Amino acid sequence: MSHSAILRSLQTIVPDTELRQDEVRDVFAAQPDLGRLAQRIVTASFNGSGIDTRYTVLDELSLISDAESPQFYDRASGALLSPATKVRNEIYVREAWKLYVDAARRSLESDPDITAADITHVITVSCTGFYAPGPDYEIVRALGLADSVQRYHLGFMGCYASVPALRAASQFCAADPDAVVLVVSVELCTLHLRSSEDPDMIVATSLFADGAAAGLVTARKFVSAVPGFALDRFHTGIIPEGKKDMAWMIGDEGFEMILSTAVPQLIGDHIFDALRPLYADRAELATAFDDGTIGEQIAHWAIHPGGRSILDRVEERLGLSEQQLGPARKVLRQYGNMSSATVLFVLRRILEQEGARDGDRVAAMAFGPGLTAEAALLTVVAPT
């Protein structure tokens, strides 16, 4: 394409209920059905998570709520409950659309030029609930978009899904120079948390949180100079050895995350193979990638913080600085792992709080079931 599509007006939101990691740890560790080993794993997982706070749509989990008919946490007994998948999904239906509409509205309202009438496509992203007519429909009706807006939903892909959503948006813009694509990710991961003795489930419980993000993607030229990211190039890599180590299944008591302790090692072992094609057509980047100086060529790294150990391994293998992984670590510490929405939180932080300058290169990367690594090469657009 002659001009890269630009991601602009990126906005992020979280629900009102804040979870303090140490308080949630104590509740999970105190469950009477846990054996001593599981209690130790809970303590270690929560303490080593790199998270201070998370957010949830479940008021019950605030630990101060006195719900008359608790579904997830009975404060009186201190017991964590395990509702059926149908109950969890009904809460998703009730709560998710508000975040979809709110995030989408904020993105539109923050843009000085783009209005509802300009939107040609809507892409919604989520892996934590289902319903139809879905969030894409809700956004069109609530924001007054044209009924003819093309709607797409990327569902159940896991933590990496916002990257293919941005790729699809850029492809729409390549096909139609007048396209303006609204991309919205909403994940309510806490709906699927529950007490367990399974180490993988315990790790997931210590990490996942709720959040939403939205942005506008277009190659159109507007009057105002708006900061954002040029979407230059995308690549999908697969680490087949990790298929069994990261998965997302539907069970009778919620969706079930498989997130084994082998994932950071697998990512570290294969990250060069997964990323090399992204830089293949740019000689200076390809050379830097192979000689270990890629961190000097690419200023900012929007790595999905799937967990602290994943960030540690990426930093070590790619020879990145502590500062380059700072945005991902700060998002993890403040918000936890919000699945597909998280990398958009990291990108927003890079643009607004990390001193990004016009022309700076950005590498974005997210990991999910498969084991799939989705990567993107971006350029900061920061008009002065």
The catalytic residues are: 159
- The residue among 89, 97, 79, 148 whose CA lies nearest residue 120 is 148
180-188 and 121-126 beta bridge pairing:
parallel
CA distance linking residue 244 with residue 246, whole number of Å? 6
In sequence order, the β-bridge partners of residue 12 are 213
CA distance linking residue 27 with residue 63, whole number of Å? 9
In sequence order, the β-bridge partners of residue 176 are none
Torsion angle in degrees (nearest 10) through CA of 278, 282, 287, 289:
-30
- Tokens 């299944």 belong to 249
Peptide bond into 264 cis (omega under 30): no
Phi, psi of 302 (to 5 degrees): -95, 80
DSSP per-residue codes, 279-348 = GTT-HHHHHHHHHT-HHHH--EEEE--S-HHHHHHHHHHHT--TTTTHHHHHHHHHH-B-GGGHHHHHHH
The answer for residues whose C-beta is within 8 angstroms of residue 354's C-beta and 6 or more apart is: 300, 326, 327
Alpha-carbon distances of 347 from 121, 151, 248, 256, 343, rounded to whole Å: 22, 24, 25, 28, 6
